[in-house]
Amino acid sequence: MGKPKAVYLKAAHEDLISNESENTVFSDVLEKGVSRRDLLRKAGVGIGILGAAMIPGMGAATTLTAKFGSSAASAGGRVDLARLLRFEAVPFSTEDTIIVPKGYKARAFYSWGDAVGLNGNMPEFKFDGSNSADDQLAQAGMHHDGMAYFPIGDHTAGSKNGLLAMNHEYIDNGLLFTDGDQNWSLEKVRKGQNAMGISVVEVSKSGGDWQVVRPSKYARRITPHTPMKISGPAKGHTLMRTLDDPNGEVILGTMQNCANGQTPWGTYLTCEENWSDIFVKKGDRTALEKRYGISDKDEVYRWNEFDKRFDANKTPNEPNRFGWVVEIDPFDPTSTPVKHTALGRFKHEGAEMVVAENGQVAVYMGDDQKFEYIYKFISNGTYDPKKGTENSALLSDGTLYVARFNDDGSGEWLPMIHGQNGLTAANGFRDQGDVVINARGAADVLGATKMDRPEWISANPHQQGSIYCTLTNNSDRGEAGYPDVDAANPRANNLFGHIIHWLEQGGDVTGTAFSWNILALAGRDQAENRNHVANHRGDLFGSPDGLKFDHNGLLWVQTDVSTSTLNQKVYKGMGNNQMLVVDPNEGYFKRFLTGPSGAEVTGIAFTPDNKTMFINIQHPGEPPSGNADAKNPSQYSNWPDHRQGGRPRSATVVIEREDGDIIGL
């Protein structure tokens, strides 16, 4: 969210403006305050484009009709999921706990500092913050974020036993260390590094409750020190070479991992977002460094003082080795992760993969910063289920595109190919490696649409080519010196955010044309600022972030409103962050969950039978300033342990219906 650099927050740069390109911004297209229906009319897009999800014969329609009767299906065979959302919506809450509807239960079962399950190395969490760097390497990292579930076995067995792979996005010195910012040392840097990255844990439902399996042969921690391969056009590139890696082919680690993706061949895609926060460059910075937000100081992590890799004066190419999508095989803890450079370098929020009808794969990605872009990658090769993880090669060979949302409701994917449309040496792009390393700069040249912080992207599993993206907020939209409103970002001072939807032409995710509209303008009507007229039906929410379809075609939305923003007048009375669910065909939002004090609700995963949902709770107890006080760490929350004098801990939460039936319906 919008926070200054000098606080311990995952998103110190998310609301900074790095995009100063002069792309067309389609101002004067819409009046501020345009309604969703007016937007669709002016854009020439019918309401029906929100997706008449025709679910084929033996899919969800058959299952749900059999379960609930023929009344579950509307005309044309479409399942009216909204009619099946029978739970009672929960109200706003400011309580330091998770609240779910009557008939549901929620329980934290994997918290920061819990042992991952490495055989012979399972240190206990110390509530005074005194765990060592070595301890932290075998424990869950801080601030759980994006997550995916990988079943072990068939549909039935895999719904009771599987792997959770999840991101640990950032660290908070006031919680991680006994003395907070005091007495900085290499040991503290190493502990901080070991608290980031990814964890893989085995989970199983035995004895009635889900538990982490310890020890487990799958257990793994991946950190900023884990060796990783490089694939794609930036492999071996001059901008990827360092003294420690003169060939530019092996990178140490990943960090600041936010949202995620999942491949049909059973691997995990983790996305590097605010990586630039950790690098420091004194003196003049290059245009590339400025475009990605490399700063001349870091008062938070301070890794540059003890690890030369993060001092860009000493290792000028090291920043170029971050900002990628990383593929991890959760079933093989000895495997080497791969950074896929063909997917472009920016502040990745997610990587939503869709297999086209012809077998090619599409990967949709957002760049989470104000006035940045939405991207799509299309593989040249096709997916072959028989090849298993060999399909990983698809992500190293293909075409990267960036989206332009036209004011008439049409859109196009602009190919980011060296030598075409201005991506030439004359404009600073010597080869395709330059294009992907400076993907933002290439998108500037192509004239892509500047968006209001593209966050998570999710594809409707029952309608090919129907894609949704959360645009979390942008307070600078329409302000003096910044781009004005446009059709796809229709509100000035967009404090509440919105959710955009597009439908690929003919349902073909490999195509370059689409039509689009807006599913929801979040927030409330502000009498003093009428351009913030809310335009969605159902329960109120703001700053949509996490986004995921379940197996039955319901769309789950999670919010990330910072504590400081929640205290502002415009958010008064809206309580803690929350999770809602909507049938996108019908558009009615229903509040399903509210989180603990100061926490972001994030990370969504489902078991194959859709009877268990996993979510993550990040930074419970975040103070309005963003700074946790090492002397009083539980000042604003002591969730989930509710231990006097303890520390609030991010955690994975398991949610089920008390009767064991399908979630949401």
The pLDDT tens digits of the residues spanning 239-273 come to 999 999 999 999 999 999 999 999 999 999 999 99
CA distance linking residue 548 with residue 264, whole number of Å: 16
Residue 81 pLDDT grade (very low, low, confident, very high; cuts 50, 70, 90): low
C-alpha distances (whole Å) from 509 to each of 10, 46, 463, 466 are 32, 20, 11, 9
Residue 529 has pLDDT above 60, yes or no: no
Q: Which two tokens stand for residue 509?
A: 């995710």
Amino acid at residue number 457? I
CA distance linking residue 602 with residue 652, whole number of Å: 10
CA distance linking residue 602 with residue 559, whole number of Å: 8
CA distance linking residue 450 with residue 372, whole number of Å: 5
CB contact set of 420 (below 8 Å; sequence gap of 6+): none
Looking at the chain, the whole-number percentage of residues with pLDDT higher than 70 is: 86
What pLDDT score was predicted for residue 569?
78
Residue 35 pLDDT grade (very low, low, confident, very high; cuts 50, 70, 90): very low
Helix (H, G, I), strand (E, B) or coil at 164: strand
Lowest mean pLDDT, pick from 35-44, 156-165, 318-327, 536-545: 35-44
CA distance linking residue 220 with residue 254, whole number of Å: 14
Q: Which two tokens stand for residue 134?
A: 């070595």
What pLDDT score was predicted for residue 269?
98
What pLDDT score was predicted for residue 2?
36
pLDDT (mean) for 116-126: 95
Q: Give the strands of the sheet with 410-415, arranged side by side.
A: 352-355, 361-366, 374-379, 398-405, 410-415, 513-521, 498-504, 466-471, 454-459
CB 497, CB 542: distance < 8 Å: yes
- The domain ranges of the chain are 36-117+136-237+250-273+323-657
Q: Which two tokens stand for residue 295?
A: 């700063």
pLDDT (mean) for 560-575: 85
Residue 114's Cβ-count burial label (10 Å; 0-12, 13-18, 19+) is buried
CATH homologous superfamily of 36-117+136-237+250-273+323-657 equals: TolB, C-terminal domain (2.120.10.30)
What pLDDT score was predicted for residue 24?
41
Residue 586 pLDDT grade (very low, low, confident, very high; cuts 50, 70, 90): confident
CA distance linking residue 166 with residue 578, whole number of Å: 20
- Could you tell me whether strands 600-606 and 588-594 are parallel, antiparallel, or unpaired per DSSP bridges? unpaired
What pLDDT score was predicted for residue 37?
35
Between the two ends of the chain, the Cα-to-Cα distance in Å is 32
What pLDDT score was predicted for residue 564?
81
Residue 28 has pLDDT above 60, yes or no: no
Residue 533 pLDDT grade (very low, low, confident, very high; cuts 50, 70, 90): low
Q: Which two tokens stand for residue 603?
A: 């990370």
What pLDDT score was predicted for residue 84?
66
CB contact set of 22 (below 8 Å; sequence gap of 6+): none
CB 621, CB 595: distance < 8 Å: no
- Could you tell me whether strands 451-452 and 104-111 are parallel, antiparallel, or unpaired per DSSP bridges? unpaired
**437 DSSP β-pair partners:** none
What pLDDT score was predicted for residue 70?
39
Looking at the chain, the whole-number percentage of residues with pLDDT higher than 90 is: 80
Q: How far is CA 336 from the centre of its chain?
A: 23
In terms of Cα–Cα distance, which of 379, 175, 342, 174 is closest to 265? Answer: 379
In terms of Cα–Cα distance, which of 314, 309, 341, 310 is closest to 325? Answer: 341
> How many Cβ atoms sit within 10 Å of the Cβ of residue 631?
10
CB contact set of 163 (below 8 Å; sequence gap of 6+): 149, 150, 152, 200, 201, 202, 203, 218, 330, 331
In terms of Cα–Cα distance, which of 419, 423, 475, 469 is closest to 444? Answer: 423
CA distance linking residue 197 with residue 460, whole number of Å: 29
CB 33, CB 530: distance < 8 Å: yes
pLDDT in tens, 369-401: 999 999 999 999 999 999 999 999 999 999 999
Amino acid at residue number 501? H
pLDDT (mean) for 509-524: 95
Which DSSP category does 88 fall into? P
- Could you tell me whether strands 227-231 and 338-340 are parallel, antiparallel, or unpaired per DSSP bridges? parallel
Residue 536 pLDDT grade (very low, low, confident, very high; cuts 50, 70, 90): confident
Residue 29 has pLDDT above 60, yes or no: no
Q: Which two tokens stand for residue 636?
A: 């604003």
In terms of Cα–Cα distance, which of 122, 135, 98 is closest to 201? Answer: 122
CB 508, CB 357: distance < 8 Å: yes
C-alpha distances (whole Å) from 557 to each of 518, 579, 580, 594 are 15, 6, 5, 12
Helix (H, G, I), strand (E, B) or coil at 436: helix
**554 DSSP β-pair partners:** none
∠ CA 589-595-596 to the nearest 5 degrees? 160
pLDDT (mean) for 293-301: 93
Q: Which residue has the higher pLDDT, 64 or 358?
A: 358
pLDDT in tens, 415-468: 999 999 999 999 999 999 999 999 999 999 999 999 999 999 999 999 999 999
Residue 284 has pLDDT above 50, yes or no: yes
Residue 63 has pLDDT above 70, yes or no: no
Task: Quote the pTM value.
Answer: 0.91
R_g of the chain computed on alpha carbons: 23
Percentage helix, strand, coil, to 5, in the chain?
A: 20, 30, 50
What pLDDT score was predicted for residue 27?
30
Counting runs of H as helices and runs of E as strands, what totals does the chain give? 10, 31
What number of residues does the chain have? 665
C-alpha distances (whole Å) from 129 to each of 181, 192, 631 are 13, 12, 11
Q: Which two tokens stand for residue 179?
A: 């003395």
pLDDT (mean) for 311-326: 98
CA distance linking residue 486 with residue 488, whole number of Å: 6
Residue 571 pLDDT grade (very low, low, confident, very high; cuts 50, 70, 90): confident
**121 DSSP β-pair partners:** 118
